[in-house]
Amino acid sequence: MKAIAFSEQGSAEVLQYTDVPKPSIDANEVLVKVEACAVNYLDLHARRNRPEIAAKLRQGDTPHILGSDIAGTIAEMGAAARGVSVGDRIVLAPCIPCSICSDCHRGAENLCDTQELIGFQINGGYAEYVKAPVQNAIRMPDELSFVSAAAMPIAYLTAWHMLMTRAQLRPEDDILILGVGGGVGSAGLQIAKLTGARVFATASSDEKLERARQMGADVTINYKDTDFSEVVLDVTEGRGVDVVLEHVGATTWEQSIASLAKNGRLVSCGVTTGNIGTINIRKMYQKELTVMGAALGTVVELRTLIHLAGQRKLQPIIDSVLPLREARQAHLLLENRQNFGKVCLRP
């Protein structure tokens, strides 16, 4: 089969459009004919320097195939696989948990210590076919396109788990969403508007902020021009926002904390600009602030999201759809932050 694969880490040039063996499946697995695979920033990190990928490349004699956000049709079923049929249109849950640890048993498989991510620890969807355990295959509503479905898992799952499960966003809340042009940011904006909350959104360009306003953002802030916490406090007359969706890390941490109202909740899923942030502990307890983490999400949450997308209550933003062989170009689009919404590949 055709795939985009690489044998050593580096720039987008390492990605090769090449022939590799079609995966062979075990009894509990399905073979999926890939119809669309979305590109994530994680793919760029994996291609450049993530040590897990370096270890996989050292161990195996086969190249690595990226791609965690996959939609397609069931092409083959393992002997013991149940619940879907050949020909079904499905989206794949991106994580494969162990299913036997205490976290998996209590339904928090997103915290499983030994989980594997498709496209990361194992080969992914930048290919004509990919294999996965049958439990990862979620049937899609007819209304949903393969491209829209592939745009959802990592970005929407992360945003949903952050806002609904962790921060428990309410209709009366004000929420600040950082980097609204990215996958998690734009998903967070749609989910927040679904709840009825008032949304403050930041981005690096006025063009992205205009798109955010079209999607329902109430207050938009260009973070290149201004300290966003000052704008938040100004608009809320000193009160601050109830929830901050944070995924930037070190460079925005203090402004994010300063933007919180009394009883405010900051929820974080990423640290693009660095791992370490400080907090004024006195202000934290006096304002009864909560700082919480969020790590992807669960299959149950992904089923909810796919259902909502089938009802058109969530509509993934697609920046561009490229043929699989142009994966280098897709990576460059993300690398140069030229996209608003997801970039998808189609074999």
| Helix or strand holding residue 103 (H, E) | helix 102-105
Choose the stretch contacting Zn ion; rule: CB under 5 A; options: 2-10, 12-20, 94-102, 275-283: 94-102
Choose the stretch contacting Zn ion; rule: CB under 5 A; options: 57-65, 79-87, 103-111, 301-309: 103-111
Residue 98 is a binding residue for Zn ion (CB under 5 A): yes
Residue 95 is a binding residue for Zn ion (CB under 5 A): no
Report, in Å, the least distance between residue 245 CB and Zn ion.
Answer: 27
What letter represents residue 240's amino acid? Answer: G
Residue 96 is a binding residue for Zn ion (CB under 5 A): no
CA distance 92 to 307: 14
Bridge-based pairing state of the strands 318-323 and 342-346: parallel
CA-atom Rg of the chain in angstroms: 20
Residue nearest to Zn ion (CB): 112
Contact assessment for residue 175 and residue 245, using Cβ atoms and an 8 Å cutoff: yes
Q: 251 Cβ partners below 8 Å, 6+ apart? A: 273, 274
Backbone angles phi, psi at 156, to 5 degrees: -70, -40
Give the side-chain half-sphere CA count within 13 A for 19: 0
Choose the stretch contacting Zn ion; rule: CB under 5 A; options: 102-110, 133-141, 209-217, 298-306: 102-110
Q: 175 Cβ partners below 8 Å, 6+ apart? A: 163, 169, 188, 192, 197, 198, 199, 200, 241, 242, 243, 244, 245
Of these, 3, 84, 96, 112, which contacts Zn ion (CB under 5 A)? Answer: 112
Of these, 23, 97, 133, 182, which contacts Zn ion (CB under 5 A)? Answer: 97
Query: What's the helix, strand, coil split of the chain in %, to 5?
Result: 35, 25, 40
CA distance 87 to 139: 11
Choose the stretch contacting Zn ion; rule: CB under 5 A; options: 71-79, 97-105, 122-130, 219-227: 97-105
Of these, 101, 194, 233, 295, which contacts Zn ion (CB under 5 A)? Answer: 101
Choose the stretch contacting Zn ion; rule: CB under 5 A; options: 104-112, 139-147, 221-229, 256-264: 104-112
Report, in Å, the least distance between residue 117 CB and Zn ion.
Answer: 13
Residue 104 is a binding residue for Zn ion (CB under 5 A): yes
Report, in Å, the least distance between residue 294 CB and Zn ion.
Answer: 18
Which one, 97 or 119, has the nearer CB to Zn ion? 97
- Contact flags string 70-89 toward Zn ion, x per CB under 5 A: --------------------
Give the interface with Zn ion as residue ranges (CB under 5 A).
97-98, 101, 104, 112
